[in-house]
Structure 1
Amino acid sequence: MRRHFSPPSLPAPFGRYHHAALAEGPQRLLVLSGQLGIRADGTIPEDVETQTQLILDAIDACLAEAGMERRHVLRLTTYLTEIDYRAAYMKVRDAWAPDPAPASTLLVVKALAQPACKVEIEAIAAG
């Protein structure tokens, strides 16, 4: 059983996410490595929206391989290389995110493992 919540004693989340996600009972735990927006042919699109969509497609593929769906996602951790990419990232992420939205952290970092990448996302799912 999973439960997503944002305690009323805390400030409201800044976006479409919950402060916490709890998995109880006998469940499988899926931990995904950071995914990058790289096409199957190895090319990296320039725009944040396309990179984000490729990453979310990769997360969907990993979930499917584990017999899970988006609704099983408990947490997303996102790394952006520029704060200015936040709106473009969130537009794509919010369209993808299940209900209830998972717990989420967004960090701005100097660089990612592939210099052309502007966004990287890690995920944790339970089901």
Structure 2
Amino acid sequence: MTNNTITRRNPEGMPSPVGHYTHITRIPRNAELFVTSGQIGVDIDGCLPENMNEQIRNTFRNIKAVLHAEECAAEHIVKVNIWAVEKIDWDYLYAEWDQLFGGNYPAMTIGYLAELGLPEIKIEIEIWAAKA
């Protein structure tokens, strides 16, 4: 490990993660930090599907687009915050998640809320990324 490398790990003495995440991500000094607004499941035409899994699919598309705009990719993501208003279909979300991360997972927090910014939004995902 060099001082200019983003590293992810699960320290010894900690229980294994209960999901697809890593307990700690180290961001090297002088890394460039990117923080997204919460990405939602609206499509390119501005339509927000009613179905949660369709919103998840669009949300991941939007995450990839916003990262691409800054020449970032999944390996630059250091933290993900997921907010949802109804039960998440984890099999579906993790399929999208694994397609993005391929097993090299960032730190993650998940919260269920009564509502998000608009009543039709079912899930919102915030990304923190860093380039060393």
Same fold (TM over 0.5): yes
Over the residues paired in the alignment, what is the CA RMSD in angstroms? 1.5
* Residue 129 of structure 2 corresponds to residue 125 of structure 1: yes
Give the C-alpha shift of residue 42 in structure 1: 2.1
Matched residue type, 2:119? P
Matched residue type, 2:118? Q
3-state SS of 2:38 partner: strand
- Runs of 4+ off more than 6 Å: none
TM-score, length basis structure 2: 0.87
3-state SS of 1:50 partner: helix
Residues 30-84 of structure 1 deviation map (CA, whole Å, 9 limit, x = unaligned): 00111111112221112222211211111111111111111100010000102x2
Give the C-alpha shift of residue 98 in structure 1: 4.2
- Cross-structure match for 1:89: 93
How many pairs does the alignment contain? 126
Distance 1:31 1:42 in 2: 22
- Cross-structure match for 1:13: 17
3-state SS of 1:17 partner: coil
Distance 1:33 1:119 in 2: 13
* Residue 78 of structure 2 corresponds to residue 74 of structure 1: yes
Distance 1:19 1:75 in 2: 10
3-state SS of 1:64 partner: helix
Distance 1:95 1:108 in 2: 24
Matched residue type, 1:13? P
Give the C-alpha shift of residue 86 in structure 1: 4.2
3-state SS of 1:123 partner: strand
Q: Specify every segment of 5 or more residues in structure 1 that has no aligned partner in the other structure, as ranges.
A: none
- Cross-structure match for 1:36: 40
TM-score, length basis structure 1: 0.90
Distance 2:26 2:36 in 1: 18
Q: Is the 8 A contact 2:53 2:89 kept in 1?
A: no
Identity value in percent: 27
